[in-house]
Amino acid sequence: MQRFIIYLTLTICIILLSVPSVYAQQTIITMPSSDVLPGGEVILKQSNRFSPFDNGFVSLTPQIIMGTGKDTEISIGAGTNIQSQDTSVKLNLTAKKVFKIKKSFRLTVGGNLNPSLTEGRNPDSMIYAHGSYLCKKTRTTLTAGGFVGGQGQMPSLTGAMLGIDQTIIPNKLRIVADYVSRNESWGSFAAGLKIRPEPTTSITTAVIIPNNSEDRVAFSVSISKYLGKVIPEPVKKEPEEKEEL
C-alpha cells in the first residue's frame, strides 16, 4: 500500500507538471534535499514564512514527513498564506526517491503537487531531479539539478536549482543556502542556519531574497521534530510445520 501511494503521487505530479509553491518535504531551505527517512520513521515539521515589507504576508505550513522504505519518502501538509487582501490554502503533497550511487553521491528524483482548497484553478506542482555530493574532508554537501513545471497538462517552465550545506559543528550547527533560477515570483536565493538544540529537534532560520523586483524579501523559520520509527515493519509469519501422522 505504501509503494502504491508513492507511485500514485509521482504519477499525478508528472501528469500535471505545474509550478512549485512551497516544498513540504526535507529541504535545504526552499529546495528539496537528498535526505531521506528510513521506512516507518516520521518527522513533524512546522514551516513559517513572513515578510513585513509592502503589504506583507504570513505563510504557515504544518506537515508530516514519512519514510516509506527503499530510500523513498512522502509528505503531506497544508499551507495557509495570509495577506492583507485575502487568505489562500493549499495542500502540499510530495514524494521522492533517493538513489545512493556511492557513499558520497546521491541522485534524487521527486515531485510536488499543490492543489488549492480556496481557488478553482489548476494545481501548482513540479517534477525535479538533482545530484548531491558530500566532500567528507570539509563536511560540505553540494547539490545541483533542474526541474520542469507549469499550470496545466503541458510543461511551461524549466529551471535550475543549486544548494550548499556546510557543517560547522557536527549534529549541532550548519550553514545552508540554495538558489532557484528564472525570474518568476518563486525564484529566489535563500541563506540561513540549521540548528539542532537536541538530537530530535531541528530549527532552520533563513532570509529569502527573490530574483523578481515585484516580490518581497521574506524570512523563514521552521521547526522539525523527529518522532522515530512510528510505523513498524510487517512481521513475516513463519510457515506452520505439519504434524506427521
75 within 8 A of 92, measured Cβ to Cβ? yes
Instruction: Please report the pLDDT score of residue 14 as a whole number.
Output: 37
110 within 8 A of 117, measured Cβ to Cβ? no
**Overall average pLDDT of the 31-50 stretch:** 95
Show me where the domains of the chain are located: 2-226
Instruction: Please report the pLDDT score of residue 9 as a whole number.
Output: 40
Mean per-residue pLDDT over the chain, rounded: 84
Q: List the CATH code of the domain at 2-226.
A: 2.40.160.40
* Tens digits of residue pLDDT in 44-61: 999 999 999 888 899 999
116 within 8 A of 56, measured Cβ to Cβ? no
> What's the pTM value of the predicted model, to 2 decimals?
0.81
Cα–Cα nearest to 194, from 177, 174, 208, 179: 174
